Amino acid sequence: MAKKRYAMLIDMRRCIGCHACTVACKAENAVPLEVNATWLKIIEKGKYPDTRRYFLPRMCNNCTDAICARNCPTQATYKRDDGIVVVDQHRCIGCKYCIASCPYDVRFINPLKNIVQKCYFCVHRVESGLVPACVESCPTRAMIFGDKNDSKSEIAQMLATNATEVLKQEMETDPQVFYIDADETVMSNVEKKINYRAESSLIKLRL
Amino acid sequence: MRKISRRDFLKLSAAGTAVLAIESQLNPLAEAMELMTGGRSVNRTSHLPRSFLPSTCTQCPAGCGIMGYVEESRLVKIGGNPKHINNQGTLCARGQAGINALYDPDRILKPLKRAGGRGKNRWTTIDWRQAYDEVAKTMQQIRSNPAQFVYLTEDLRQDMLGRRFTNAFGSPNAIGAAAIFDANKKVATELTWGAAGDMPDVARTKYALIFGANPMESHPQFVGFVRRLVDGIQQNQAKVVTFDVRLTNTSALAKEAYYVNPGTYSMLALSMANIIMSEGLQDSGFINQWTNVSERDLAAHLAQFTAEKAEKETGVAANVIRRIATEFARTKPATTVSDGMASSHLNGTQNERAIMLLNVITGNVDIRGGLCLPRQYDLADASPVPPAPVASSLSQPAELPLAGQQSIERSLQMIQDRKYPVGVLMSHGYNPVYSNPDGDAFAEALKDDSLIPYHVAVTPYMTETAALADIILPETTYLEGWDIEARPSPEQVPYVALRQPVVPPLQDSKSFFDIATELSTRVAGGMESYFNFKSVEDYIDARIAGISGLMSAGGLNYLKQYGIWYDPKSKPDYGAYATGGFQTPSGKIEVSSPRLEQQGYSALPNYDPVPAFNNLSKDELVLTIYDTAIQSDAKTANCMWLDEILHDNPVLINPQTAASLGIKDGDKVTVVRTARTGDGVRSPGGTGVDAKARSVQTTAFITEGIHPRVVAMANGVGHTGFGRIAQGKKVDKSSVERVLRDPNTELVWWGEKDGTGVNPKKIVPVMPEPAGGGQAWGDVVVTVGKSSD
Amino acid sequence: MENSDVNVIYSVQHQLPLVMYIGQYFFFTGLSAGSFVISVIATLLGRKEFKPIGKITAILAPILLIIAPINLIADLEQPLRFWHLFVYYNWTSPITYGSFLLTAYPIMGIIYAVMVYTDRQKAAKILGILGIPLAISVHGYTGFILALAKARALWNTAAMPTIFLVSAMVSGIGLVVIIAAARWKWFDKKATPEDRRKDKRLILQLAQFMAYIIMLDLFLIVSDILVLLTAHSDAYQAGMLILTGNFAPLFLGVEIFLGSIVPMVLVLGPTRYSLRAIVIASILVNIGVYAMRFVMVIGGQSIPLS
Ligand SMILES: Nc1nc2c(c(=O)[nH]1)N[C@H]1C(S)=C(S)[C@@H](COP(=O)(O)OP(=O)(O)OC[C@H]3O[C@@H](n4cnc5c(=O)[nH]c(N)nc54)[C@H](O)[C@@H]3O)O[C@H]1N2
Ligand SMILES: Nc1nc2c(c(=O)[nH]1)N[C@H]1C(S)=C(S)[C@@H](COP(=O)(O)OP(=O)(O)OC[C@H]3O[C@@H](n4cnc5c(=O)[nH]c(N)nc54)[C@H](O)[C@@H]3O)O[C@H]1N2
Ligand code: SF4
Ligand code: SF4
Ligand code: SF4
Ligand code: SF4
Ligand code: SF4
Ligand SMILES: [Mo]
């Protein structure tokens, strides 16, 4: 059998923007306040009355070509055989170079532990035969997780039968979080006229 | 990679379906996976399985099944119960954040007695013996006049024990707050088809017309309902059309989403009904057999609601109304989804009846994929059942004969206006100062001991209401207590679920069962005989005794193990009314309601414009207070994981409107209720319709996603009590009881940065809808202007 | 929906991972590398009048390079684990080569300084020649740190190491000019007037050299920005951020105007013989380079990636 390759698929035709995944991750992985391993981006487009809202759950893409791992000076961040990119919490020195390198802004310094963390596809659950916490909680089953090299898996079938996109393809990181039917604007910040209301204070100086 | 053909895929799906006992449209693959993997959890470092207990979430009325995962007697995580028929292993954000509520750093863990004037926030810790003695003593003082005992609770339907306690004492005045929201809907449905409420069968429908509901963010059955609605859209290709005053998460998944003028649902629905009837798209067989009107009479009544008139009233184009109406009638099965907001207007009862009518004339009543009767077990109280005392003017308002239930906002106003004498007020898990309209006025009343001589708050938290108590009895949270739950089933299969302690009561907190039992023993005088159970389990046992299927499956032991029971062979019994008829006096659907007519309302569904919205001036806007997927009313603001996501509530304004008012995004603005608010309200009290607070200050959020005549603010934030987390304050670990400690409370950041919003409900006057008695939350007229300071 | 407005109604705030410690670190390594190169040039040229400058810079380089990594370690979330860098190295990470360079270079620098001070010319020259690539690498790698962080449009350019090197030269020479001028003014009184004149000329020459390097620096920066403005949208946003956005005052005002244009005018213009003007120019140059480090490190991270 082919080597395992874990991946996530988020079906935006099913996502209701409820934040259950966000909170599930906090609960499962003791992610402190201030930081998020997964979160939701919500935008509104259009002019009244032709308006529409779009969601995008965001998390580490566990990239095949993970820049974070390539740039980590201590190999604290590394890719496992099953494709999951993990951070060895005892080895990480907190140089934060991985955060600066990742094109997806999905890594963070845990303010209680002073180490860098991110979504690691709930490795501890996956190894015990469970699905990740966010996947389990999602009320509308918008998230599908599994081994995409196992053709019998739901994710392999969904990937084979649906058009999917990934974030920032041009970064050539080969992300392993796939989206079905995600809006192109919410996936990038291409629009010149973005109102960064929610992010106006996103720069948080930790001096 | 092997490509899967469509046939293989279907085969796999069929295999998956077999796993389910219940027929369902749910994605079978995912379902199988959830059943295999859900309901377990492992320790993150040791990977060892965690022990768990199933229970029920009460963070909102949906009652999802949860699993409490425990390590060394500390609750470490709340997960979903995969066996629960509503949520099937999934949970919303609020359900998972319940752990924050359990370990709220400001939770009250010992009885408190007021040490200064009411509301001065000075307390002394007392022991339970003293607390019980004092409360029992004051209750005994009104023993000869028991109706002076007033018991306020969140939802009487979920607080059987509270009613039992009040009845046993001899008072009729157990008053539930749930009526504040859905009374009009309950009355409308009750009058029309003899059952309170409805349950759209959205998993199996082909067409869902949503009126003023926002199920992707809030719904009484939230998780259980949306997962089925999304399945309906995806598996069943159901078309969803919404009518709302603002852009919502629901419109994100809807095929079509329309903005509609506030308060005009009945016009919209009636004009659609008119089109359906005039084009001959109705289900004549159903109308003739199952309603109390003739097609001809109905058509004649509906003829006045032309699409053109409707366009003028509702703002929805006539051709859209026509197209949607015919689509709705031609697509089978179809259903409407209407919720609180449709009935939260002064024409709420009619709105709800008009919306129901669409299902009735198209024969979509209680069919697979249609608008179904609510299915739930009617749980009896445990015997011996205390006799129900004679109703009082507080519990059964004479001016609301149809309601058959209460109207808490009106009851509170009667107390405030000295229309009803109170001896002892007990508030139980209910925070009217925050949740009710005109909460400031009730706060004043609570401060006045000539109005309310004694106030006992039974609550785990120092809410705005509890802060005005004489004595606080620290109750356990929902995660440490017992109850039996049977709520309307979105799967259309009734169930019984258990709430059991996932952890033992923290410190000195006690369950309401223990409190009620102990108090009734001390108050005595016969009351104690109704609380003569060996244990709370004994009491629960007595309540489920009547459900034979459950008893033969193992009764309480079964529930303790699985958390939920439903008849595994049962399928939705669509159309069961065919044998016994509807539970109305005529046995039919009373499209024409003689009971409404008797009270001077139109017998047939009608459109009565909201008086306050008549000829609004250019700067008068309608205020909508909406629920979000993150917070539940007054309940969840002490959950830091939720507050981090939603902690403030800027007022949403359309750019056109904002431009004409000279308001820019981020400006500080004042939202002022105008005198027009309350036009047409028949005030039962005497205070009229003037809430104490006239205005609130917030910031402007300019968005295209709102009707230009409407401004909107989120509900659930803006607390001035309820502990430090709810108020966005950092909590120093060392100031907290050891059992409640969590280093995260020191990281609370939003209070300093964004503030914690305001509570717009305090500027809403008490406005009971005349027929249903529910509060007309939607009828507030405001002006918005830049704040001067 | 053409020309649609986009309202981001929810997202989360992101941490700014690298703070000014890193900018400072870049600044000090730059100074060090700059001084070392000057020192080696002085040693190689072997002229007597260059000697004092060669000595100052020989001692400056290792001192600055001991200060620099202190910033780096202070920035670590787990400073006590800095030794992991050597034990668990990763050759695809520029920080790994940096760790070894940062160890090797000051050691070499100290030995070199000893040679210079003990007047062992030949050894000093050999060490100097060997040391130049090391010095260039030490500073050039800092440019690689930024350039290889693909995520950040402002950093992710092949010109980054060169820009860093050139600005390091600028600031390094600036520092040497300041120190040499101070020595000339206060500590060089015993020298003959002839030597003093020669010394002053040398300082003026150094300053002119600095001005030419500033020109090179400006050229690199302008070409970098032109490319940013015409590349993909993130890059465009990065360009606009420093041209018109929050970082414009620092970039245009401090880095370009005060830190480059004004010093060039002072050094090449009518004040070109005034030691005072030249010292002011050198101070401004260093302020400008410090600002540049700030704009690069902080500005580079302040464009939301999601
Ligand atoms: N404008 C406007 N106003 C509204 C609404 C609206 O949509 N718009 N919504 C209305 C609706 S639908 C409703 S139902 C009401 C709700 O109004 P309430 O019933 O007052 O609010 P709840 O959110 O149900 O929470 C009640 C209290 O329960 C307490 N609590 C939380 N957990 C526990 C526990 O485990 N045990 C005990 N004993 N107490 C606990 C909290 O202290 C909370 O203050 O608000 C109404 N107000
Ligand atoms: N996530 C979440 N779920 C909840 C709750 C919660 O607070 N949060 N509360 C629970 C409770 S207690 C209840 S009763 C239910 C309430 O659930 P809902 O009835 O869905 O209540 P709301 O979200 O208040 O109102 C629904 C929509 O009506 C719109 N609306 C308001 N006024 C008008 C109008 O005049 N015309 C039209 N067309 N639309 C209008 C609002 O914009 C809003 O989007 O939800 C329950 N579930
Ligand atoms: S998304 Fe970022 S953190 Fe995650 S693997 Fe890819 S590069 Fe690394
Ligand atoms: S912060 Fe930790 S994980 Fe990230 S690059 Fe540095 S050592 Fe590696
Ligand atoms: S997979 Fe696990 S770690 Fe990753 S976002 Fe989901 S819950 Fe968080
Ligand atoms: S839990 Fe599911 S539906 Fe909710 S936001 Fe996350 S992905 Fe979307
Ligand atoms: S919908 Fe959410 S809050 Fe409501 S019962 Fe279910 S999990 Fe709890
Ligand atoms: Mo409610």
CATH for A54: 3.30.70.20
| Nearest atom in ligand 3 to C151's CA | 7
Does ligand 2 lie within 6 Å of residue B225's CB atom? no
Ligand 3 pocket test target in A8, A58, A61 with most atoms within 8 Å of CB: A61
Which among B38, C14, B755 has a CA at the least distance from the CA of A39?
C14
Say whether B744 and A22 touch across the interface (CB within 8 A).
no
CB atoms under 10 Å from CB of B673, counted, come to 24
Least confident among A81-85, A140-144, B259-263, B435-439: B435-439
Does ligand 2 lie within 6 Å of residue B244's CB atom? yes
Chain C residues in contact with A171 by the CB 8 A cut-off are 150-151
In a domain, A175, yes or no: yes
In a domain, A132, yes or no: yes
B480-497: average pLDDT? 94
- What confidence score (pLDDT) does residue B25 get? 38
Q: Which among B90-104, B157-171, B560-574 has the top mean pLDDT?
A: B90-104
Confidence of residue B179 (pLDDT cuts 50, 70, 90): low
With a pLDDT cut of 90, the percent of chain B lying above it is 81
C233 at interface of B, judged by CB pairs closer than 8 A: no
Q: Fill in the amino acid letter for B594.
A: P
**pLDDT beyond 50 at A207:** no
Residue with structure tokens 């620096």? C217
Rounded to two decimals, the ipTM of the complex is 0.90
- What confidence score (pLDDT) does residue B324 get? 98
* Between residues B601 and B30, the one the model is more confident about: B601
Write out B336-354 in H/E/C secondary structure: EEECHHHHCCCCHHHHHHH
Radius of gyration of chain B (CA): 26
Measured distance CA(B235)–CA(B251) in Å, rounded:
18
**pLDDT beyond 70 at B789:** no
Reported as a single tens digit per residue, the pLDDT across C259-306 is: 999 999 999 989 888 889 999 999 999 999 999 999 999 888 887 776
Confidence of residue B38 (pLDDT cuts 50, 70, 90): low
With a pLDDT cut of 70, the percent of chain B lying above it is 93
**pLDDT beyond 80 at B459:** yes
How much helix, strand and coil, in percent to the nearest 5, is found in chain B?
35, 15, 50
Measured distance CA(B482)–CA(B46) in Å, rounded:
32
**pLDDT beyond 90 at B148:** yes
Measured distance CA(B527)–CA(B509) in Å, rounded:
23
- What confidence score (pLDDT) does residue B298 get? 97
Reported as a single tens digit per residue, the pLDDT across B730-778 is: 999 999 999 999 999 999 999 998 899 999 999 999 888 888 888 899 9
Helix-helix angle B265-278:B295-302, to 10 degrees = 130
Chain B residues in contact with A52 by the CB 8 A cut-off are 247, 251-252, 257
Q: What does the mean pLDDT of chain B come to? A: 91
Q: How far is CA B463 from CA B132, B186, C216, in A?
A: 21, 29, 67
- What confidence score (pLDDT) does residue B263 get? 94
Contact B261, B778 (CB under 8 A): no
Say whether C10 and A44 touch across the interface (CB within 8 A).
no
Q: How big is the CA angle at B317 (ends B311 and B320), to the nearest 5 degrees?
A: 125
Least confident among B427-431, B473-477, C188-192: C188-192
Per-residue b or e along A31-40, where b marks 16 or more CB atoms closer than 10 Å to that residue's CB: bbbbbbbbbb
State how far residue A199 is from chain B, nearest Cα, in angstroms. Answer: 12
**pLDDT beyond 90 at B11:** no
Q: What are phi and psi of B122, to 5 degrees?
A: -120, 130
E strand or H helix that includes residue B56: strand B51-56
Chain A residues in contact with B80 by the CB 8 A cut-off are 136-137
Measured distance CA(B714)–CA(B710) in Å, rounded:
13
Say whether B704 and C5 touch across the interface (CB within 8 A).
yes
Ligand nearest to the CA of B176: 1
State how far residue A148 is from chain C, nearest Cα, in angstroms. Answer: 26
- In terms of CA atoms, which chain A residue is nearest residue B642? A23
C9 at interface of B, judged by CB pairs closer than 8 A: yes
DSSP E strand stretches across B468-605: 471-473, 483-485, 496-499, 564-565
Residue with structure tokens 């309901």? B39
**pLDDT beyond 50 at B615:** yes
- What confidence score (pLDDT) does residue C2 get? 38
Say whether A195 and C151 touch across the interface (CB within 8 A).
no
Confidence of residue A189 (pLDDT cuts 50, 70, 90): low
Local structure of residue B722 (DSSP, 8 states): S
Say whether C9 and B703 touch across the interface (CB within 8 A).
yes
Decide: helix, strand or coil at residue A131.
Answer: coil
Measured distance CA(C113)–CA(B445) in Å, rounded:
85
| Nearest atom in ligand 3 to A173's CA | 6
In a domain, A115, yes or no: no
Confidence of residue C230 (pLDDT cuts 50, 70, 90): confident
In a domain, A99, yes or no: no
- What confidence score (pLDDT) does residue B28 get? 43
Q: Subunits that touch chain A (at least 3 Cβ pairs < 8 angstroms)?
A: B, C
Q: How big is the CA angle at C10 (ends C8 and C15), to the nearest 5 degrees?
A: 100
Confidence of residue A161 (pLDDT cuts 50, 70, 90): very high
Of the partner residues C9, C78, C85, the one whose CB lies closest to the CB of residue A43: C9
- What confidence score (pLDDT) does residue B399 get? 73
**Torsional sign, CA B86, B89, B94, B98:** positive
Count of pairs with CB atoms under 8 A, one residue in B, one in C: 6
Chain B residues in contact with A86 by the CB 8 A cut-off are none
Of the partner residues A20, A130, A137, the one whose CB lies closest to the CB of residue B37: A130
**pLDDT beyond 60 at B333:** yes
**pLDDT beyond 60 at A202:** no
Distance B603 CA to ligand 8 centre (A): 27
Distance C231 CA to ligand 6 centre (A): 34
Pocket lining for ligand 4, CB < 6 angstroms: A 72, 74, 76-77, 87, 92-98, 116
Chain A residues in contact with C75 by the CB 8 A cut-off are 95-96
Cross-strand pairs, B214: B218
Is pTM beyond 0.90? Reply is yes
What is the DSSP track for B205-259? Answer: -SEEEEES-BTTTB-TTHHHHHHHHHHHHHHS--EEEEEESB--HHHHH-SEEEE
A36-55: average pLDDT? 93
Least confident among B313-317, C165-169, C237-241: C237-241
Say whether A189 and C302 touch across the interface (CB within 8 A).
no
Count of pairs with CB atoms under 8 A, one residue in A, one in C: 197
- What confidence score (pLDDT) does residue B306 get? 98
Q: How many domains does chain A have?
A: 1
Confidence of residue B26 (pLDDT cuts 50, 70, 90): very low
Domain range holding A27?
6-60+120-203
Reported as a single tens digit per residue, the pLDDT across B40-88 is: 899 998 999 999 999 999 999 999 999 999 999 899 999 999 999 999 9
Pocket lining for ligand 1, CB < 6 angstroms: B 101, 154, 177-178, 180-181, 340, 429-431, 435, 459-461, 463, 475, 477-478, 625, 627, 632-635, 715, 761, 764, 777
Confidence of residue B689 (pLDDT cuts 50, 70, 90): low
Does ligand 2 lie within 6 Å of residue B184's CB atom? no
**pLDDT beyond 90 at A4:** yes
* Between residues B515 and C102, the one the model is more confident about: B515
In a domain, A85, yes or no: no
Say whether A140 and B230 touch across the interface (CB within 8 A).
yes
Kindly tell me the number of DSSP H helices and DSSP E strands found in chain C.
12, 2
Domains of chain C (ranges, CATH numbers): 20-299 (1.20.1630.10)
In a domain, A66, yes or no: no
**pLDDT beyond 80 at B180:** no
Cross-strand pairs, A79: A85
B202-220: average pLDDT? 95
Say whether B704 and C9 touch across the interface (CB within 8 A).
no
Reported as a single tens digit per residue, the pLDDT across B261-299 is: 999 999 999 999 999 999 999 999 999 999 999 999 999
- What confidence score (pLDDT) does residue B338 get? 94
Chain A residues in contact with B6 by the CB 8 A cut-off are 161
Residue with the smallest CA separation from ligand 4 atom 2 is A92
**pLDDT beyond 90 at C8:** no
Chain A residues in contact with B644 by the CB 8 A cut-off are 33
Confidence of residue B684 (pLDDT cuts 50, 70, 90): low
Q: B699: which 2 tokens?
A: 């910031």
Residue with the smallest CA separation from ligand 7 atom 6 is B64
**pLDDT beyond 60 at B34:** no
Q: C292: which 2 tokens?
A: 């540049």
- What confidence score (pLDDT) does residue B22 get? 38
- What confidence score (pLDDT) does residue C46 get? 78
| Nearest atom in ligand 3 to A101's CA | 7
Residue with the smallest CA separation from ligand 6 atom 4 is A18
